[in-house]
Structure 1
């Protein structure tokens, strides 16, 4: 199977310039290392009608192309169920009946982050589970055998993060992100994952799960986000941050592409022309503050 990088947006709305910058970086990482570049639509949750088409249009407008048909998570349910069944057969899963509020309010182990699962349902008896099933549906959690896991990141070096008994399938039947992304990356031959650095804390969970499933752990590079003038992660409420909004101000997609390349220390022009100049070691490590240009 050909090695590949990828970009995997959720079709909840138009991509903003932060998303586009990450997509460009993922494309450059892949192409500069001789990999294919794939696009996966992560539509298990929060899909908005028409958003996928908008996102594909905007990616193409800034020069991001992909080397195979687009894959959608909603088409891949049997792969996720097979992975959960394999873990269950090995005694690595259990039912959880806790609400989000109960988890937030429960005491957790020292040094665990807020919201880390404290193991409330881990040792329930079958009789106790039967009682709880009558009042609410269960999610499926991983029975983790470690408290932390280390990953190697191309930009952050060795990173050690918490691994708790995280959810594999939510109580509404939807596959959880941490499982889906691991299964999808392995199935698609993705051995390079480039994404925003806000996802770095969840990466040790995913690497650990891949190991349990006997799947390869990809190379990681978590890149700096784009933020607003307050230093907060960029969002659509921050004004003209989508190609559509910027076009209304007279700012073309080509101008946005050039601006994003310049923010990475790369010359303006096509993405293909930027490949020879691309070197991860020279990438800016600080988050980039977005300032709306004028046409």
Structure 2
């Protein structure tokens, strides 16, 4: 029996639906199923109001267990390591927030990062718990991230991505590829690889597509313009590696490098611009990152 759980970013909390069992209290159930978190930690969270019932009220340590009961809890990482970079705001209105994310900052809580994420920082900065990212870029990539700021209009903006009604353009610095003719389109079938956080190309019907062009040449390195037609995890990093030019300072491709973050050597990949027709007003919207990739 496993938990059915998810992490609704708009509530800043994870939610569990209690499975069948013979526990006397909710606390007993949580301790049994989240074995990495000790009973004292759960008691401490409950005492600080960090475990809530379905209505959002703090629970007591003796709350009786009931199958199917929904419990919200706030993820915590003891001694969370600060990330010494700062995001900037490109645009803020009633419906949308556009942020410029620096390298190394995760978009949403994951693994060892909870408070040190773009989402949590913006919720605090704008005092808006309704913020939800409409798409994501990985931690090592810098650039634009679009957030919904209003639940009432969220679905209209979310539909831009699966319907391919938003033009996303990236820049990357990687080794020169003088033997290839640009611009070119690279298509492949991408699936999960090894280790679990990597992706790989395999034989079969393509499910990923990227348009690549050369923007600038500087000796043995070129600046590439990359336009993903699809949005697979690590798509641009995998595609550039497949072309024979892994993006500079990539810690995952072509091989995994187990190193501490080096702020002087960020991945040379930037989510440079977003262009789309506003689904509410019909207005043409264009946003461009204020960040740059140095040679």
TM-score interval w.r.t. the shorter chain? under 0.3
Which of the pair has more CA radius of gyration? 2
- TM-score normalised by length of structure 1: 0.27
The structure with the greater share of residues assigned to helix is: 1
Q: Comparing both chains, which one has the higher relative contact order based on Cα–Cα distances under 8 Å and sequence gaps of 6 or more?
A: 1
Q: Could you state the TM-score of these two structures normalised by the residue count of structure 2?
A: 0.27
